[in-house]
Amino acid sequence: MLKRRTIFSFLLCLGYLNLSAQHFKPAANPEKILSELRKTSSATHSIQASFKEEKYLSVLKEPEHSSGLFYYQKNDKMRWEQKKPGSYIILINGDKLRIQEGGKEKNVAQAGRMAVQIKELMIGLVNGDFQQNRAFSQTCMESADQYMIVLTPVNRRLKNIYAKITLVFSRTSLRLKELIFFEKSGDKSFMKFHQEKFNEPIDNSLFLTL
């Protein structure tokens, strides 16, 4: 359950139609794009945003919708708080990962190394460290107004969960706009940020209490 809910309830979408309308091709200068993305992420000390998520599950005819609030602060502090349709919180503070569902905290220690990998992945997708994550190979694509990084797992455990993960960035702001998880089972999760605020103060208690 942790392998699925931790990531798919963690992140962002309604971006599916927008992504489908884009015509991506292999990037002409991928190293330059990755360098620009690194500069933007290194200059980002905090993020506050609302999120929307749309999940397509093979066992359901209609997609599931969820929404909530997201907070990130250097170094390695993140709060992912789903508000609708139910309460679900993922809290990362340094090397600690905590999860609460329906007002009850879950025991993630039982997940061992997988929980550690998922925590590293979650933070890395936000702070740009995914570029150094050897658990994935990466391909850089571009369209007229967006960049897309396709992460393909090479790590055995992660390959058992994901077929690929794609990150879509605005070409002008270099900010992450869409995040799409393609599960090995065929399930998909489309996510999107909106109402973002960057480098503004965040109450530290948000990273201490579920």
Residue 10 in this model has a pLDDT that exceeds 50: no
Residue 184 in this model has a pLDDT that exceeds 60: yes
Q: Which residues does residue 182 pair with via DSSP β-bridges, in sequence order?
A: 164, 188
Domains in the chain: boundaries: 2-207
Give the strands of the sheet with 25-26, arranged side by side.
25-26, 136-142, 146-153, 162-170, 176-183, 188-198, 46-56, 64-73, 77-84, 88-93, 96-101, 104-106
End-to-end, the C-alpha distance of the chain in Å comes to 20
Predicted confidence at residue 22, as pLDDT, reads 62
What is the pLDDT averaged over residues 31-43?
A: 94
Model confidence over 50-75: pLDDT tens digits? Answer: 999 999 998 888 899 999 999 999 98
Task: Please give the class, per CATH, of domain 2-207.
Answer: mainly beta
Residue 123 in this model has a pLDDT that exceeds 70: yes
- Please provide residue 41's backbone torsions phi and psi, each rounded to the nearest 5 degrees: -65, -40
Predicted confidence at residue 34, as pLDDT, reads 94
Percent of the chain whose pLDDT exceeds 90: 62
Give the span between the Cα atoms of 46 and 67, in whole angstroms.
Answer: 20
Predicted confidence at residue 132, as pLDDT, reads 87
Predicted confidence at residue 12, as pLDDT, reads 34
Give the span between the Cα atoms of 108 and 29, in whole angstroms.
Answer: 41
- The two three-digit tokens of residue 61, written as one number: 């005819």
Give the span between the Cα atoms of 189 and 183, in whole angstroms.
Answer: 8
Cα within 13 Å of Cα(118), Cβ side: 29
Mean pLDDT of the chain: 86
